[in-house]
Amino acid sequence: MKRMLLVISCIFLIAGCDKKIDVEIVDNFEDVKVELRDQEVEINNDLLNTAGIVNVEHGEVLTEEVNVDTSKLGEQEVTIVVKNERDEEKEFSYKVNVIDTTKPVISAKDKITTTEGTKVNLTKNVTVKDNSKEKLEVKVEGKYDLNKVGTYKLQYVVKDSSGNEATKDFTLVVKEKVVEEKKEVTTSEKKTTTTPKTTTTSGYNPNGTPSSFNGTKTSKGYIIVVKNGITYIDGIMIANKTYSLPKSYNPGGLTSVTKSAINEMLAAAKKDGLSLYIASGYRSFATQNNLWQKRAKNYGKAFADSGTARGGYSEHQTGLAADICGEGKGCISSDYHNSKGAKWMAANAYKYGLILRYPKGKDGITGYKYESWHFRYVGKDLAKKLYNGGNWITLEEHFGITSKYAE
Ligand SMILES: [Zn+2]
């Protein structure tokens, strides 16, 4: 109706038409009702520039619909143009506040395993996603020591610039370093292998294997490494009647690698319906020595040697060996090998990196009678090799070493 009047008035008042319309625009524009509402949007989320328009009456929005730039935090003004019924345009604006209330998302492994003394970048494989698209720093919270064997409960923490914090728990397992580097020996340095004279008449040598053995070769050509009285061959710690451990060697219990291998194995046994347990794990030099000394004093050296390792010569001191029992009448007995438990162990232990250390018929080689309960951790590769399809090879045979007390 008003438009009609304007057109009619222009026709009649041609000369002064423009000016008259000017006046009329202002007056008439007030008839357009534009209701807007300020908006709040998460950073980098989509928001149309028309989102703030609640209602427009007696007018038409001319602004083309486009996305508001939401890539930066903070307030901005969004302007829309509305025309009235007389085709006159006017700008209106409202506020858009870009905010960030969304936590970053951390993707990382639940468990990191390393060996003691190895430098590890704990955040290397952690990825962080955040709606802010900022480059965020990942921090590790909690106490740990890469030089100390242990299981550490830690947490990744990431915070964006708006203070939204995300955390993710993870476990760091620092394992004992088992593998020693082979010592390179040049031809001129090669020594011949002899049995070290390490045993004293008192039944033990507090210093372990003498350092003179370091760098010598076994009959199979392996280099013997002696470090602080401890013997390693191809990275495997050796404790038998020839190569002893020093009084000072004390891993403080079964090593964490051994413990977890045994636990995994016992869990598998449980699944097969067998209830097995560790009857004896780590034994200290002192415990073993006291045991032997007592027997030697009461019954003589020969009797003591027949059933008990001398101090420093027991594999239990390595923290890598354990007596596994269960599912049989008694254990640590010559009948135990017929038990369900001993049979399961003989068939499955190698899968977890453990070997039957003193197999049947190898007394002359290992220096020990058949012990169907005594298992030693050597790692899965070597264990599989020594398992040999059930026809066990001993560590002594594999490396070409003896197991004999010097006196
Ligand atoms: Zn044992």
- Could you read off the pLDDT of 13-67 as tens digits, one per residue? 443 333 333 333 333 466 788 888 899 999 998 898 888 988 888 888 888 888 8
At residue 3, the pLDDT reads: 44
The residues that bridge with 355 in the sheet, in sequence order, are 376
Q: Tens digit of pLDDT for each residue in 351-398?
A: 999 999 999 999 999 999 999 999 999 999 999 999 999 999 999 999
CATH number corresponding to 105-175: 2.60.40.10
Burial 181-196 (b: 16+ CB within 10 A, else e): eeeeeeeeeeeebeeb
- pLDDT-derived band at 189, boundaries 50, 70, 90: very low
Q: Where in the chain is the domain with CATH 3.30.1380.10?
A: 245-399
So which residues are the catalytic ones?
A: 371
- 220 CA to centre of ligand 1 in angstroms: 26
Lowest mean pLDDT among 55-69, 92-106, 280-294: 55-69
- Which residues lie below 8 Å from residue 57, measured CB to CB, with a gap of 6+? 32, 33, 34
CA of 314 to the centre of ligand 1 (A): 8
Kindly state the average pLDDT of the residues 141-147.
93
Q: Cα separation of 370 and 92, whole Å? A: 94
Per-residue pLDDT for 301 more than 90?
A: no
Lookup: tokens for 219: 């009959």
Compute the distance between CA of residue 200 and CA of residue 180 in angstroms, rounded to an integer. Answer: 28
Q: How far is the CA of 289 from the centre of ligand 1 (A)?
A: 15
Least confident residue range of 4-8, 27-31, 205-209 = 4-8
Neighbours of ion ligand 1 (CB under 5 A): 323, 374
Ligand 1 midpoint to CA 179 (Å): 23
List where CATH 2.60.40.10 sits in the chain.
2-99, 105-175
pLDDT at residue 11 greater than cutoff 70: no
Number of separate helices (H) and strands (E) present in the chain: 9, 19
CATH fold of 245-399 reads Muramoyl-pentapeptide Carboxypeptidase; domain 2 (3.30.1380)
Residue 31: other Cβ atoms inside 10 A = 13
Fold type of domain 2-99: Immunoglobulin-like (2.60.40)
Q: Average model confidence (pLDDT) for the chain?
A: 85
- What lies within 8 Å, CB to CB, of 317 at 6+ separation is 239, 245, 249, 250, 282, 283, 284, 285, 288
At residue 201 the predicted structure's pLDDT band, cuts being 50, 70 and 90, is low
* 294 vs 352, residue with greater confidence: 352
d(CA 143, CA 154): 7
pLDDT, tens digit, 9 for 90 and up, residues 216-269: 999 999 999 999 999 999 999 999 999 999 999 999 999 999 999 999 999 999
What percent of the chain has a predicted confidence (pLDDT) above 70? 86
Cβ pair 240, 403 in contact under 8 A: yes
pLDDT-derived band at 202 (thresholds 50, 70, 90) equals low
The answer to whether the beta carbons of residues 50 and 65 sit under 8 Å apart is yes
CA-to-CA distance for 61 and 21, rounded, in angstroms?
A: 21
Q: How far is the CA of 9 from the centre of ligand 1 (A)?
A: 115
At 305-323, the pLDDT tens digits run 877 889 999 999 999 999 9
CA distance 107 to 125: 9
pLDDT value at residue 366:
96
CA 398 to chain CA centroid, nearest Å: 32
For residue 120, give the amino acid letter: V
CA dihedral 136, 141, 146, 152 (to 10 degrees): -130
Task: Determine the Cα–Cα distance for residues 284 and 297; give it in Å rounded to an integer.
Answer: 20
- Is 90 exceeded by the pLDDT of residue 191? no
Quote the CA–CA distance of 278 and 271 in Å, as a whole number.
17
**Pairing, β 39-42 against β 89-99:** parallel
